[in-house]
A and B are shown apart, each in its own frame.
Chain A
């Protein structure tokens, strides 16, 4: 017995080879695209894990913790039984933001790490034995290598000093809190990838690591921290082998250990004893948050101890009429039950309870009007004066609580001053107003409050965003139970004392916001289609040579099912060979794509991968078995489908026709499906397409549709109409007896029309491909010369600083306080606050888990300067200005409304407008629920979410001052060249904000950076689509070869009748040219219509020249392929042709 499949595989191997090749192409494209996705994900993963080093978890609390070797937080945590069993010795570090001052250039933002030998031992770096970074030196991360610093060079490092008291608080230091150090650069002694060469980062990010490492103790000294206890603000944790970071049990154990270890100090809280035995709870940030107050009061209630919140504040003056004034006096708000003769419940009367000293100083009698003046710090970054008239109550005796200095917390720059004249507070004081009497009081009583108010009244008068109390007084009692109750009632997570599973979260983010596998499948769409069409054509061409064989099998009793199964089995073996070759070729294709993404298409990955690595992450080839299997399976399915589709049609035909080797197309063009005169059937559809196209053009012209959409739609309709028209023309070319001259090219056109299905398929493929390649130009984003795009909101430049500006640089006071030059005429600065970490734009390949958030000031929102593409506005006011959605009233606990950029929301965060999402943006990574209420169109805010400034200040961790700035040209009438304006704006911004580590750019450049990613996608699509088109054109050549082979006897007869070699070449040329030129012409003309608006708006760029060159290459190579095919077909001697039947 013989195997018919095996025999056929051997005998028809020449027919099978091109089919296998076409299958290989399809499989290669599928495998390659998927492997590109694997490679990007794998490279992101590799880059992240390399930079993370040995870190599995990190604890990043709100307050710096004690690093005392015996009693500090790391020591206590390491001693916890749950910790020691699973984790290695933790490494405390100081983690800050800073900037390296580069001579002649903008400051370079850097991450600053204060480290000691524990850091190096943690990462297994031998350097830990020698203590790490030398005294007086710094080591640099690879991201700074481009500045060329070498060992021994000196550099200036500016570090944003952490402040326990928020800068944006009334009590916070507003002056420049950064420190500048000059240090010598030290080389890494044994550089290796990762932390051993300074490539260290806790969070996933692209681009080179710009980090500076200096000795921990020196950093503490530079920050002017107390020697004891030494502090750190980040604790790195590494799981022991066998208990890796991804294990949920490890995370639970660590959480448990932190909960049971974290003391009041780690929460930034402390207890001290009041004068009368009370325990007084205070915060290092000076103000107790509402959550702390609530928890503390609950703890007190649990112990059955009374507790009293206190709010201490500074009055700039207390004045009694036009008489005396007492300057700079502390005032304390106390609960009513602590005050003598409190006003009646529900009374609105505001009463001041003067201390005895104040009553005497102002000669107060009960009932006297007293004016209280004070300063408030506004969110807008400026002080505001406030004053209130109160009624004086009877003086309170300096005894008990009223004589307790513990009523007032330690105000920095105030409490530790020997004299009032030595005060250096974070708010303006006129020390000239201080009298000797005031100095006497200070000497005797220090910061003891001179007057008292009702707590609620003081909270109303002195509103602070951070909280409404400066201390809580607990009734006297044992301290330990109170501490236990407080620790138990104040969850450590509220203070950022939660283990952040950085490795797990980072690996999650490394899945990538952009699925490059899917994108390359889209880009390779035409390659896939061309490969499939070629596969079908080649398979069909091959099987049509075996019509008599199939007819014979059917005539001798094989069932159609059996014949089809045999054909499929044969096709399957061929496909397997093709797929195996294709899988290998796919790896090569992926390698070429990866190489291109590191080079000519680097824009698609925001230019953050380099071919050689260097100081940037390297894009490497990673291939998962799954991708190879899926790609190969896709190729196999395509081949089997082609075989099934072709075989199914053939085996259903009558054996007689098969034995006569009659193809259905032999009936001529009028036998197209549906029968009847084709023109009559096609004309309505052609007309309909033209009508639709015209309607779309009219709609665009009238403004009903966006211009781009109208023209693109019209172009698409014209393409369909062209293909239908081409089909009709083919049919007419095949019609008989139409008269007219009968020429050589008429014979060629008749040959093309004789196989209308094949010819139409090739023509339609070429038309569609050329249309798409050209028409996508409509989506390429290019700046219009001399005009600011709408997405800039009319701003010419923007800047982002490493260090926050507490003052509003747009105000005169702010500029004076910040030592900024006077506002340049013709420019205005609009400051915004910034929270979060991760860039949400297409420039970030990692999934942004903590997206950056900008706080939109209400006045800027009301200007409605940025266009929207979608929003959930319901009222006419919201529809008129969707920014108002940020300020819509909402129920307590409702998600915070945010606005984002359309592209970022669609492609990066995949977040539809109207939906809610939770992000770990809260204190210590707590979740914050947001609702996307609007999407901006092509804006400069592609990297950020935008919420109301008030919401940002309320719900997100303290954002120290302003860090994002927009600059606009306010010169009347404008008129200067945009480029000149941009240069001036960026210079001014850089000059003004340079000391704060500002990165400055024009808004057009920022938009261009986003567009570069999208435009690179388009270029990639065009390039790969061009390859697909070329493949389609070669497919045309294959059709010609096959067609010539079918017509060898006819050509033999023509040769016998005296046709010369060049006559055959002309025949082939005309037939080829008909299909090629009509396809290209139909597609290109329709595409030109589609992009007419774009052509009118901007200068034809390099991309149009590229596409034009591509189409020309397609035309030339197509004609050449046809000539080669024709020549090959005519190569055999005439006699053989005639004998071939």
Chain B
């Protein structure tokens, strides 16, 4: 899944993990027979914090887990849930697989592109919304389905989408 073209504001924010996060990742690593098993869970923790995986945090993770940026990037670029660039504050991911297609996903995708005035894979200029198309979310019985950040929204209709977007204004 390709994500945003949002300009990175490198001056304003620091993307380093604070002591608490570092300690959380260290504790996490201790529970595994091999601490490299903590790479995926640690990347989830980092993304929960920053909404993406900033390079600075990868360097820190290498120190904690005794590995190299090459190794971490080979892993994180394999998994579509991890973002190597910032995404919008609200990341909308719409399923376009077969069951959702049968239940009208393409109309909803069209509706969202018009509402947000962006194409799938893009972020709104204000950095608020990113729209992505994804493959099966495992909720086919309640199709069509989308994710808004961590949350599932099932049995979607255009009206429901309007209500959801309104609640985010």
Q: Please indicate whether A and B come from the same complex rather than being unrelated chains.
A: no
